[in-house]
Amino acid sequence: MALTGLDIYKLLPKTNCGDCGVPTCLAFAMKVASKQAAVDECPHVSEDARNELGAASAPPQKLVTIGSGDGKLQIGNETVMFRHDEKFHHKPGIAVMVEDTEDIDVKAEKIAALHFERIGEEIFVDTVAVNCSSGEGASLKEAAQALHDKLGLPLILIAEEATALCEAAGELAELRPLIWQRGGPGDALIELAAEKKLPLVVEGTLEECDSAAQKAKDAGVEDMVLCPGEVGPAEGLEFLTCARRAAINKTHRPLGYPVMVCAWAGDPAQQSLEACHYVAKYAGIVLLSVDSPEYILPVLTMRQSIYIDPQVPVQVEPKLYDVNEPDDKSPLLVTTNFSLTYYSVLSEVESSRVPTRILAVDTEGTSVLTAWAADKFGAEQVSEALEKTGAFEALEEPYRRPVIPGLVAVISGELEEESGSSVLVGPKEASGLPNYLKNEWKKLILFQDSA
């Protein structure tokens, strides 16, 4: 549990000297409790108090880094059970399994293709798990090294035998792979993880993980990932929920690590569903064996949706966007700067191939009807955006006619008065735009011009 201001105050010198920039120790304690100041800003706090405060304020779940350099994966450091209480901080790694006996070139090509763009963000598979099905350390090392060279992604090395795993992990230690000995880590692997500072998988039931993580920690291993092994979705979910709860409540400190789960059994659709289910409920890494885009994209979409900060609306920059190289006789569509709305409009305009401009009005990331109801997408705001972006200057008459969404047709009259221009009312849904742009827009412009 987080320390209260009074808990912190008890550990301060209580001299009210003001050297921390705050008049009293109590006021300083309140700032520390609300994370607006760090304990170190008091130059007089004792070493014992500093240690006590440091331990108590440590994150309930450790931040674990897998891989090195730009492509590293960071998981854990979560502080809440529910996204609406704050936000989830680190997206789970989505890992595709590769057997070290497979054709690595073919597999690397398939994994590289699992890369998509959605609402302006690149989403992709960001981890590769290599399984030592050959039983040979040299083969595991060679396959993992080749995959890393081709993809640059963090690695998870998996083997039944500690000898093969230790051999490969020892040689690839600079890449900081996550190492997993199936069934749980033996002493040799724990020793290697401590010596090379590698993240280690601790496998078993919650009770087994609790004692194995404590054992590994006592041996000097700093970074760990818990894993229930190959279990069904219900058991996996139970493990994830109990481990997160134990970590957040700080009831079992050895369970204060992120969790890796396997969704690699079953047919591809089942794997995809299971993986989505784990992403939604606390997974730190999800392993799949499927590598087809149609099964991976739903998992990446789920991850993107869950790990968006719920307190920050997803929005694009409010401005005028050119699509398909418009000229001075092109349509001018008006919409809001809510990402989902903007990208829905954009994708329909792109597919229509009609050169068009899209004016994204600043509605603080809210959708058309929400923004209109909140008085952020009325005639005044649209008119201001038209003027500020010089949208009309790029068009000649009679094409200077903004097309507003059909959902806010009600503002058309007022907008005509505000902007001094005729206004067209477009379709209610973005899906109606291709037909509107190709077949209706020009007729309406010419009709209005001749009227």
Minimum CB distance to ligand SF4, residue 8 (Å): 9
Strands 115-118 and 93-99: unpaired
Give the per-residue contact string, 4-43, with ligand SF4 (x = CB under 6 A; - = no): --------xx-xxxxxx-x--x--x-------------x-
**From the CB of 36, what's the least distance to ligand SF4, in Å?**
13
Taking the least distance from each CB to ligand SF4, the nearer of 7 and 222 is: 7
Q: What is the CA radius of gyration of the chain?
A: 28
Closer Cβ to ligand SF4, 12 or 290, answer by number? 12
Least CB distance from residue 11 to ligand SF4, whole Å?
Answer: 10
Query: What are the tokens at 248?
Result: 């957040």
- The first and second tokens of residue 296, run together, are 């991976």
SS (H, E, C) 325-379: CCCCCCCEEEEECEHHHHHHHHHHHHHHCCCEEEEEECCCCCCHHHHHHCCCCCH
Q: How far apart are CA 182 and CA 158, in angstroms?
A: 7
Q: Which is nearer to ligand SF4, 26 or 219 (CB)?
A: 26
Smallest gap from residue 6 Cβ to ligand SF4 (A): 14
Beta carbon nearer to ligand SF4, 26 or 394: 26
- Beta bridge pairs of residue 181: 159
Cβ proximity to ligand SF4: between 42 and 198 the closer is: 42
In Å, the largest CA–CA distance within the chain is 87
- CB-nearer residue toward ligand SF4: 44 or 197: 44
User: At its nearest, how many Å lie between ligand SF4 and the CB of residue 30?
Assistant: 11
Q: Are strands 73-76 and 63-66 parallel, antiparallel or unpaired?
A: antiparallel
Tokens of 144: 């993992």
Min CB(43)–ligand SF4 separation in Å: 6
Contact 372, 378 (CB under 8 A): yes
Instruction: Pick between residue 6 and residue 410 the one whose CB is nearest to ligand SF4.
Output: 6
For ligand SF4, which is the closer residue by CB, 42 or 151?
A: 42
- Rounded Cα distance, 431 and 133, in Å: 48
Residues 310-339 that bind ligand SF4 (CB under 6 A): none
Q: Is 18 or 152 the residue whose CB approaches ligand SF4 more closely?
A: 18
From the CB of 34, what's the least distance to ligand SF4, in Å? 15
How far apart are CB 55 and ligand SF4 at their closest, in Å? 19
Q: Is the dihedral of CA 98, 291, 148, 283 positive or negative?
A: negative
Number of residues that bind ligand SF4 (CB under 6 A): 13
Using the structure block, give the residue that is written with the tokens 């090509």: 109
For residue 258, give Cα distances in angstroms to 73, 95, 419.
12, 15, 55
Residue partners of 259: CB distance under 8 A and separation at least 6: 225, 226, 227, 228, 239, 240, 243, 244, 282, 283, 284, 285
User: Residue 110 pairs with which residues in a beta bridge?
Assistant: none
Asked whether the beta carbons of 198 and 177 are under 8 A apart, the reply is yes
Residues 171-230 that bind ligand SF4 (CB under 6 A): none
- Provide the residue type at 52 as one letter: E
CB of 58 to ligand SF4, least distance (A): 21
The C-alpha torsion from 330 through 335 and 337 to 343, rounded to 10°, is -70
Q: What angle, rounded to 10 degrees, do the helices at 162-171 and 137-151 form?
A: 40
Measured from the CB of residue 59, what is the shortest distance to ligand SF4 in angstroms?
23
Q: Cα–Cα distance between 269 and 294 in angstroms, integer? A: 9
Phi, psi (rounded to 5 degrees) for 117: -120, 130
- The residue among 19 and 350 lying less far from ligand SF4, judged by its C-beta, is 19
The distance of closest approach from Cβ of residue 10 to ligand SF4 in the complex, given in angstroms and rounded to an integer, is 12
> How many CA atoms are closer than 13 Å to the CA of 129, on its beta-carbon side?
26
Taking residues 42 to 81 in sequence order and writing x for each that binds ligand SF4 by CB under 6 A, - otherwise, the string is x-x-------------------------------------
The smaller minimum CB distance to ligand SF4, of residues 20 and 64, is found at: 20
Query: What is the contact surface with ligand SF4 in residues (CB under 6 A)?
Result: 12-13, 15-20, 22, 25, 28, 42, 44
